Amino acid sequence: MECTDIAVETIILIRQNPRFMSIVVRIIVSAVVAFGLSYILRGIHIDTFLTALVLAIVLAILNAILKPILIILTFPITIITFGLFLFVINACIILLAGKFVRGFSVDGFWWALLFSLLLSIITSLLYSDDAKKRRNSE
């Protein structure tokens, strides 16, 4: 199977499944925001935009699989800290992604914490704006 055949089949899949399209858009938005933050935060290093796309996919997978397990295991400390420990979990996931993605590095825990906070805030703002546009168009 050639690359063009795979690309055509992917486009057909995206058009037939709006949920898949939403996931693809979220990954692209996360990649753009992460790549932009790497220019602003001197402790975050992303080599290329392709690396940012891979990072967004790895973060999505880690957030879907590992984060719920960590939340359950750390539930008591999360309750004691009124949920603030979730920021630590997010920073740890960023640091773990740095181990998996070649071309992405974080200079330390505090940079990971700041990066995860800004990434969450900016992408949430962009997604909420998108959700408002969808509600207004219906």
Helix (H) or strand (E) holding 44: strand 44-46
Give the C-alpha separation, 23 to 31, whole Å: 12
Per-residue confidence at 23, pLDDT binned at 50, 70, 90? confident
Determine, yes or no, domain membership for 24. Answer: yes
Q: Residue 2's CB: how many other CB atoms inside 10 A? A: 7
Residue 68 lies in a domain: yes
- What is each CA distance from 66 to 58, 88, 89, 93, 97, in whole angstroms? 11, 14, 10, 8, 11
**Residue 138 included in any domain:** no
Share of the chain above pLDDT 70, in %: 86
Domain membership flag for residue 35:
yes
In a domain, 50, yes or no: yes
User: Which tens digits make up the pLDDT trace of 51-110?
Assistant: 999 999 999 999 999 999 999 999 999 999 999 999 999 999 999 999 999 999 999 999
Quick check: is 108 in a domain? Answer: yes
- The count of structural domains within the chain is 1
**Which structural domain range is residue 43 located in?**
3-132
Residue 130: per-residue pLDDT: 61
In a domain, 137, yes or no: no
Please state which of the ranges 3-7, 16-20, 126-130 shows the lowest mean pLDDT: 3-7
Mean pLDDT of the chain: 88
Contact (Cβ atoms closer than 8 angstroms) between residue 91 and residue 114: no
The two tokens of residue 69 are: 């397990």
pTM of the model: 0.82
Is 112 a member of any domain?
Answer: yes
